[in-house]
């Protein structure tokens, strides 16, 4: 049986057992953390940082968490709402006037946060490296036409939500999202979470291991919203190893943390806006998340999703997250964070070996089910 490090309340012994079993099966290195009513009841890790299994995953190991970063991005936007600086029902152009061009004057801030803006990606040609140039990347988004009527459907803003929401944050605060996280979120909460990764932290990064290759579908429609999104740009796991990726401000993609670090941020949402004596939101601001923005087949993910403001409220893709006052999101390859307001519960799982698919995995299901089994 694989060796698992960390702490775990006896009540949640099944979570430790699940991690041991997955490390013996499909995991390479991973961390799982759970907060219940303001107490960290699970903080576990194990496995290896590298595919060669030469360096153990330790307490301070961090990893590129892909789209789990979006959970922190939308928290930041809600903080500006809480302060009265941002109205989610206002046009994006009120804060970013250039964005109103090309038929986007009626795109609202909530459309950016709920993947319903009609701007899910950049028009080609556009590469991963093009994302690193913030001003040019944002100018290009502002100059695009929506790919569908904004507000009528969701189409997952896979790579560009960080620029869309991040530019609104920058216009309001005069600070990059990267800096906002350091100064207003991770710093006050004492959370090990950063957008990108400082050079002094590179030696504790576990490189992501890409998922199994899938042969391209010869019948794929190159003009579909899904194809255009996933090719604008084509995402690269190798890019995450570069200094340029780690220096970039990619609020949709390049958060670096582990399960504990993500937990220390996102439990704020499950606990009504404050954690560890630090208040980031009022309870009524957290409630905005539950204002449903879409419910149907997502044009990019091509499966049914129900989105609120900033987070997913439900999807059959992850049936193991219970219905009720819960919301969640995760990252490419399977990382996941669940906020359950009824139970004042937060579940966080981060790993380096990526599973197939955009959201969730058999592994994330094992941990989430183990947590709920313990509670039930």
Domain that holds residue 93: 4-375
Distance CA 248, CA 368 (A): 32
Question: Which residue(s) pair with 141 in the sheet?
Answer: none
What CATH number should be reported for the domain holding residue 361?
3.40.710.10
Phi, psi of 64 (to 5 degrees): -70, 120
pLDDT of residue 219: 80
Q: What confidence tens digit (pLDDT) does each residue in 315-347 have?
A: 999 999 999 999 999 999 999 999 999 999 999
**Prior bond to 190 cis, omega within 30?**
no
Inter-residue contact 134 to 163 (CB < 8 Å): yes
Residue 104: partners with Cβ closer than 8 Å, 6 or more residues away: 92, 93, 117, 118, 119, 142, 144, 145, 146, 150
Distance CA 170, CA 310 (A): 18
pLDDT of residue 140: 98
Distance CA 81, CA 245 (A): 29
Q: What confidence tens digit (pLDDT) does each residue in 6-22 have?
A: 999 999 999 999 999 99
This prediction has a pTM of 0.98
pLDDT of residue 220: 86
Number of domains in the chain: 1
Residue 137: partners with Cβ closer than 8 Å, 6 or more residues away: 122, 130, 131, 160, 163
Q: What is the maximal distance between C-alpha atoms in the chain? A: 58
CA-CA-CA-CA torsion sign (90, 149, 312, 61): negative
Rounded mean pLDDT of 43-60? 98
**What is the band of 301 on the pLDDT scale with cuts at 50, 70, 90?**
very high
Distance CA 336, CA 349 (A): 5
Residue 215 has pLDDT above 80, yes or no: no
Pairing of strands 304-307, 29-36: unpaired
| Percent of the chain residues topping a pLDDT of 70 | 100
Query: Other CB atoms closer than 10 Å to residue 133's CB: what's the count?
Result: 12
Distance CA 292, CA 360 (A): 21
Distance CA 104, CA 11 (A): 51
Distance CA 370, CA 283 (A): 28
Distance CA 137, CA 99 (A): 12
Residue 30 tokens, joined: 């991973």
DSSP 102-142: TTTTT-BHHHHHTT-SS--SPPSS--HHHHT-HHHHHHHHH
Q: Is 172 exposed, middle or buried (0-12, 13-18, 19+ CB in 10 A)?
A: middle
């Amino acid at each position: 049986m694989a060796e698992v490090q960390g702490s775990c309340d006896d009540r949640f012994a099944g979570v430790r057992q699940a991690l041991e079993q997955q490390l013996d099966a499909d995991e390479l290195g991973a961390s799982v953390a759970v907060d219940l009513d303001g107490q960290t009841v699970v903080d576990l890790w194990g496995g290896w940082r590298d595919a060669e299994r030469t360096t153990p995953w330790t307490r301070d190991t961090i990893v590129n968490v892909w789209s789990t970063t979006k959970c922190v991005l939308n928290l930041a936007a809600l903080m500006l709402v809480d302060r009265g600086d941002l109205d989610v029902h206002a046009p994006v152009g009120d804060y970013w006037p250039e964005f109103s061009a090309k038929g986007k004057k009626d795109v609202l801030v909530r459309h950016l946060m709920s993947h319903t803006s009609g701007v899910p990606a950049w028009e080609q040609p556009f590469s991963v490296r093009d994302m690193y140039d913030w001003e040019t990347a944002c100018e290009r988004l502002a100059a695009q036409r929506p790919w569908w009527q904004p507000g009528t459907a969701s189409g997952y803003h896979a790579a560009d939500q960080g620029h869309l929401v991040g530019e609104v944050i920058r216009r309001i605060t005069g600070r990059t999202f990267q800096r906002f996280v350091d100064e207003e979120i991770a710093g006050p909460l004492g959370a090990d979470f950063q957008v990108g990764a400082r050079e002094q932290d590179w030696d504790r990064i576990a490189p992501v291991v890409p998922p199994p290759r899938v042969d391209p579908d010869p019948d794929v429609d190159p003009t579909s919203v899904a194809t255009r999104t996933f090719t604008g740009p084509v995402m690269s796991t190798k890019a995450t190893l570069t200094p340029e990726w780690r220096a970039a401000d990619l609020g949709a993609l390049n958060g670096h943390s582990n399960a504990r670090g993500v937990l220390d941020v996102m439990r704020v949402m499950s606990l009504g806006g404050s954690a560890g004596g630090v208040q980031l939101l009022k309870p009524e601001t957290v409630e905005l998340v539950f204002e449903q923005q879409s419910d149907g087949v997502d044009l990019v993910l091509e499966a049914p999703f129900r989105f609120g403001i900033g987070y997913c409220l439900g999807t059959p893709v992850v049936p193991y997250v219970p219905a009720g006052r819960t919301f969640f999101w995760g990252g490419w390859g399977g990382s996941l964070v669940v906020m359950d307001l009824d139970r004042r519960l937060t579940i966080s799982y981060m790993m380096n070996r990526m599973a197939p698919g955009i959201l969730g995995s058999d592994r994330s299901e094992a941990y989430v089910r183990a947590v709920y089994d313990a509670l039930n």
